[in-house]
Chains A and B, each alone.
Chain A
Amino acid sequence: MATTTDAGLGERDTTGSPRSRLLGIATLIAVAILGVLAFALTEPDVRIHPETGEEFGQFDAVRMLYVHVPLVIVTYLSYGICAVASIGVLVKRTPWWDVTAHTAAEIGTIFCGLVLVTGSIWGRPVWNTWWEWGDVRLMTTLVLFLMFTGYLALRRITEDPRRQARRAAVVALVAVLDIPLVNRSVEWWENRTLHQRSTLGELKIEDLTLFTLFFGFVTAGLVLAWLFLHRFRVGWLERAAIDHGVAAAIVERQSETSDAEVRRSVGEQPEGPEEGLVP
């Protein structure tokens, strides 16, 4: 089993470090606080119609937005990192960029999946449907998720890591072209979406609700940072294990082959008497 020494991370059998554990604890605490804020302390969205006097709004469903919206932001962020790292792969061609791109894509896809799930849970009571085919933002988000699912499928194929890195970088750069469509779809196709333009103004978010929303951004950022740190280290170790395996195979092969045999294999005459071959 490879240890973190191979990746220059110190003599440990784990991807954790004192600082990353601290980050993990902070993340867990933040998630717990967000849960309490979003699902217990904040008020449901209940408004009174000025003419009829009836209650309307999103009621308790609005609580899901404290999770859903921050997840959207970290999804964009993860895929943005993936895009920058993919450019780095094509320009710099170093493993660091490749592992960064892979890490960001994997985490971004998890977040994107959660965006779809939390959005669907929110949509059931508010839109009265789990899924709305006519919603452009929903469709473009699904397409984004599917494109990165393909990216991860490509990543799982065993081949030369450098070649795989270049192929994956191209797929990522095409896939991130969808992000502006996702983000701007509510503006460009205003009549083809159920997503509202801006929830902030409509819901009159202020005080505790505003704090909860921004605390959600911070928490999602912490989760992203913690996941990124560990997944990057795992990816780096995987790469180190592959390199180590290749290097070991070369050494093993060299020990089996004499200099004379190598010369014969490339069509040259061996120099002097042939030395003993290792059987």
Chain B
Amino acid sequence: MIGRISRDAWLVACRDLRIEARSRVVLDQVVPFSVLVLVLFGFALDADNRTLRTFAPGLFWVAVLLSALLAVQRSATLDRSDGTDTALRMSGLSPISLFLGRASAVYVQLVALQVVLVGGLLILYGVDVEDPLLLVVAGLVAGVAVAAAGTLYGALASGLGVRETLLPILLLPVLAPVLIGATRAFDDALGAAAVDGWAWTGLLSLAALILTVVGASTHSALVED
């Protein structure tokens, strides 16, 4: 059972990533957008390096969430234009596999996005990484939570005429606790504030686990339409 779910999820993830590699929407549009957000924050804060360094963790995660919205919308609409979603439902793939596969593909894209944005923080904001391990672990764990919630709400909003406006309203409040936890963990990793980043990473792990379990267990109610 678990083996089959994993195998099917792997197939779905590889398929989504293959489509992305060919279409390059994330690479050509989402990644430049995220860097643009970082640049705009720099303009808004009047290019004050000290302020930018202090708020870099929060600005980083706001940029990630805004970019994730685009990635999730893209993922959710991949199959709707040509009716592939119906074919997927008829193929016998379990909704759990579909969810895990799609979430995994979004996760890989988010991790790539984070790598680019961390580079942006180092170059544009001039931050110093004091705890690289915490930075990596917190980024990876928070990415799971964002990908799980994003995939669930992307499926929920797909097929609706107003999904572009509805998805942020639904998704961003759910991700607010993730934003808080991830920002605190990055505060510690980047030396921006004296907090226990590992404790926040533990909370992020719990959020990631809950969102993944809830997403996988309720996804069937959304894809059977």
Residues of A at the B interface (CB closer than 8 Å) are 90, 139-140, 143, 146-147, 149-151, 153-154, 157, 159-160, 163, 166-167, 169-171, 173-175, 177-178, 181
Contact = CB atoms under 8 A, between A and B. Distances in A.
B221 A166 contact: yes
Given A150-B170, A153-B169, A163-B225, A170 B218 contact: yes
B176 interface: yes
Contact of B173 (A150, A170, A173, A181): A150
A170 B180 contact: no
Contacts of A149: 169, 173
B132 interface: no
Contacts of B221: 90, 166-167, 169-170
A143 B176 contact: yes
A69 to B, nearest CB: 24
Contact of B174 (A147, A160, A169): A147
Interface string B141-176: 000000001001100100011100010011011101
Contact of B156 (A143, A171, A178): A171
Contacts of B176: 139, 143, 146
Residue of A140, A166, A178 most packed against chain B (CB within 10 A):
A166
A169 B160 CA distance: 16
B203 to A, nearest CB: 9
B214 A173 contact: yes
Interface string B177-188: 100100000000
Which label, helix, strand, loop or mixed, suits the secondary structure of the B interface?
helix
B115 interface: no
B174 A170 contact: no
A150 B222 contact: no
Contact of B170 (A90, A143, A154): A154
Interface of B: 149, 152-153, 156, 160-162, 166, 169-170, 172-174, 176-177, 180, 210-211, 214, 218, 221-222, 225
B104 to A, nearest CB: 20
Contacts of B180: 139
Contacts of B160: 157, 159
Contact of A170 (B156, B162, B172): B156
Given A90-B221, A139-B180, A154-B166, A146 B173 contact: yes
A90 B218 contact: yes
B222 A153 contact: no
Given A147-B173, A166-B221, A173-B214, A153 B152 contact: no
A177 B214 contact: yes
A89 to B, nearest CB: 9
